[in-house]
Amino acid sequence: MSGRYSTQSSRSAEASPDLRDLRSETVTPENESSPLLGHSRNHVEDKRRWKSIRVMYLTMFIGSMGFSIVLSSVWPFLEQVDYCVTAAFLGYVVAAYSVGQLLASPLFGWWANRKGSTLAPIILSLVINFIGNMMYGFSGTLAAHDATNGAFMLVSRFIIGFGAGSVSVVRAYVSAATTLEERTAAMANVSAAQSLGFIVGPGLAAAFRPIGRIGGVWSALRLQGNMYTM
């Protein structure tokens, strides 16, 4: 009887894989020895791949810097363009950015997955960001101290936030363009670039303080350039 049990246990041991091998396969599977995007592992491709990843770092840095540089001065600028503005409306202006990003993130992610490329979504997001920031600059030139300026600023901040929805695409690209061994450091660098942008933004806004609240107006476009819009 004991022989039969020993035979069954030996068969089950032969049929089941070794636990150490299974753990090793889970941590470093063969398909993770190369990036998920399918780049071949050679010097030229690795150089091109890391160049794209570093562009993603820069994109994340610029996006977060653009957010923080405006956030530190949005209240005095809002008071300048609309004398009747309230603190509650300031909350709406600040929240508009986050609402726009909330709505855009899944759309950009869906588009990138459907197209199989992150280039078009990221380029479009940068264009949207540019349009939103131009609108923000025009906020003080539509009508003299009218509520229209405040509403225009609210819409511009929503558009800027919508353009920032590509953050999810940036993170997804970096994750897919790196191997399992590279991914932790690369994702940490994405977060570091974002945090650095949040730090640099307010300092850059302070650097524009000598321009003053009035600044100058580009007459051809009626675009006001001051310490809040530069």
Q: What is the pLDDT of residue 32?
A: 57
Q: Flag the least confident range among 90-99, 174-183, 190-199.
A: 174-183
Q: Flag the least confident range among 6-10, 72-76, 86-90, 145-149.
A: 6-10
At 194, is the pLDDT very low, low, confident or very high (cuts 50, 70, 90)?
very high
Q: How far is CA 216 from the centre of its chain?
A: 32
Q: What is the pLDDT of residue 56?
A: 92
Query: In the predicted model, is pLDDT for residue 169 greater than 50?
Result: yes
From CA 89, how far away is CA 174, in angstroms rounded? Answer: 37
Average the pLDDT over 108-135 and give the result: 89
Tokens of 72: 């530190």
Q: What is the pLDDT of residue 47?
A: 85
Q: How far is CA 105 from the centre of its chain?
A: 9
Per-residue pLDDT tens for 55-70?
A: 999 989 988 988 888 8
At 104, is the pLDDT very low, low, confident or very high (cuts 50, 70, 90)?
very high
In degrees, to the nearest 5, what angle opens at C-alpha 19 toward C-alphas 16 and 21?
100
Query: In the predicted model, is pLDDT for residue 161 greater than 70?
Result: yes
71 vs 100, residue with greater confidence: 100
Q: What percent of the chain has pLDDT over 70?
A: 70
Q: What is the pLDDT of residue 44?
A: 79
Average the pLDDT over 84-113 and give the result: 91
At 187, is the pLDDT very low, low, confident or very high (cuts 50, 70, 90)?
very high
